Structure 1
């Protein structure tokens, strides 16, 4: 596993949004999907409001890799399912970063959304 540099972690972690492009089975990239991104410790995470049934999330399952663009950082990444033990810290990161959007942030804090938590790892 490769880690983000401290500078890239800071940039991605403070970016308001992230563009995610997952790879299709043939290796081509899907259209970008804009979403919230959070940093917890030395990792960055995304979640699907629609859970594992969300279209963009299902797209990550083809090859478990793609490309992200956030805060001026563009990287090829691997999508790793987060361990349930990581959910509480990711919840806290979403509350801290996006808590000003009170009625919206709750949608990424549901059990449905938690099950779709992906850790983004540079490759």
Structure 2
């Protein structure tokens, strides 16, 4: 977990105001392998088109939006569903090859693979007999 650090400033948990866009922290799982770190983020309702993932100056940013549209001619009497914005940021260590990060989204679940640079991968040293 030394490869990334959370940066959750600016995001909040949902409030109870209807039809107001909220910024939420998506729940994430982070797993590691010898050659990569994997992040799985839960962003229900976010489409591939509204998802933006960027790396800038060692910071990985994920942002996605869920838009709620009211059918024409209808006005809300009661509404609990609101437009939402998801945002999460992570500071990457130098071990991560930011040029090789891969991302995919499947039913609102974002999967990121952050490969480690070859120089930072664990490797076994062959021991020679004398």
Structure with the higher fraction of residues in helix conformation:
1
Larger radius of gyration: 2
Normalised to the residue count of structure 1, the TM-score between the two structures is 0.32
TM-score by length of 2: 0.31
Name the one with the larger strand percent.
Answer: 2
